Structure 1
Amino acid sequence: MSTLVLEMRAGELMVVNGASLRFRSRTRVELVAKARFLFGKQVMSPEGANTPSRRIYFALQCAYVGPEEERETAMADAHRLVAEFQEATTSDMARQLLERSLALAEQDEWYQALRLVRHVMRHEATVLGLDAQTGLPAAAGIAAAAAATKAANLRPHLD
């Protein structure tokens, strides 16, 4: 049996088989069984799904690591969102990447599928003048990041 060892920093988030885990201290995690997981910046919150390509990513994320009973619906949402995006875009590259992403997801190649959607997210951000990390207008993305950093520094540490 093969295992996967991950180094996780304090505050990082990991989703395993639909359960969210936030690490309170630096740790090493060893996965010894087959698991559906994403961690760190790969995990998108529902609030982060604020553009068409980011909604596709979120739907695929839910189909991959969401609760078992929600995966089929999430995959159907991803198909619908991809069709809508493909109809609206003028980018052949985005159309092809999204088509390939769905095919990879259907083949249980989730990391590759999500990676392709992240390429489309960056392309969309560039074309629309959005912050690539937040999907917000570039100036608003910078302001939101600064506010989040300030809020994190002001929060009391609770053990």
Structure 2
Amino acid sequence: MLLKLRAGEKLYINGAVIKVERKATIELLNDATFLLEAHVLQPDDANTPLRQLYFVLQTLLMERDCAPDTLRLFNEMSAATRQALGGGALADGLRGADALVDGGRVFEAMKTIRGMFALETELMKDKTTANAA
């Protein structure tokens, strides 16, 4: 797999952080778990239920030593979030993400959750507006 990085960009491979000084292409010759800097959510940005779930999955990929505990945390948080949502598109999306995680496809589950961030923002705005009225 070829990864093209811009100058100053970070790459997270199997928990290690690599930063390139100038534009670089890196070829991974074996199976490795990696995240590009654009996929990494900082702790301060994990400020909504979906972002917190995304952060937990990110941790699952980056900190393999903690995988069983992190996976359990994700399952508990996802179930609680789905229950709080009741139903609808977000709950359906989370069920899909859960199935991906169960199938070992954590990165795809992260993409699914990331794709729901805008919907979550709209839902939270609507609830804030309804509570203010």
TM-score with structure 1 length normalisation? 0.72
1:21 matched to which residue of 2?
Answer: 18
1:47 matched to which residue of 2?
Answer: 44
Asked whether the 8 Å contact 1:6–1:29 carries over to 2, the reply is: yes
Asked whether the 8 Å contact 2:12–2:37 carries over to 1, the reply is: no
Mean Cα displacement is larger for which, 46-55 or 28-37?
A: 46-55
Structure 1 unpaired stretches of 5+: 130-159
Q: Quick one: higher RCO (CA 8 Å, sep 6+), 1 or 2?
A: 2
Q: How does 1:10-159 map to 2 (within 5 A)?
A: 10-66=7-63, 68-129=64-125
Mean Cα displacement is larger for which, 47-56 or 17-26?
A: 17-26
CA distance in 1, matches of 2:61, 2:94: 16
CA distance in 2, matches of 1:13, 1:123: 28
Give me the CA root mean square deviation. Answer: 1.5
CA distance in 2, matches of 1:123, 1:91: 14
1:143 matched to which residue of 2?
Answer: none
CA distance in 2, matches of 1:72, 1:11: 33
TM-score with structure 2 length normalisation? 0.85
Count of paired positions: 125
Q: Letter of the aligned partner of 1:15 in structure 2?
A: Y
What SS does the aligned partner of 2:116 have?
Answer: helix
Measured after TM superposition, the shift of residue 90 of structure 1 is: 4.5
Asked whether the 8 Å contact 2:4–2:25 carries over to 1, the reply is: yes
Q: Letter of the aligned partner of 1:99 in structure 2?
A: R
Q: Deviations over 1:13-59 (max 9, x none)?
A: 21111112222211111100100111031111222211110000011
CA distance in 1, matches of 2:21, 2:87: 42
Taking every aligned residue pair, what percent have the same amino acid on both sides? Answer: 26
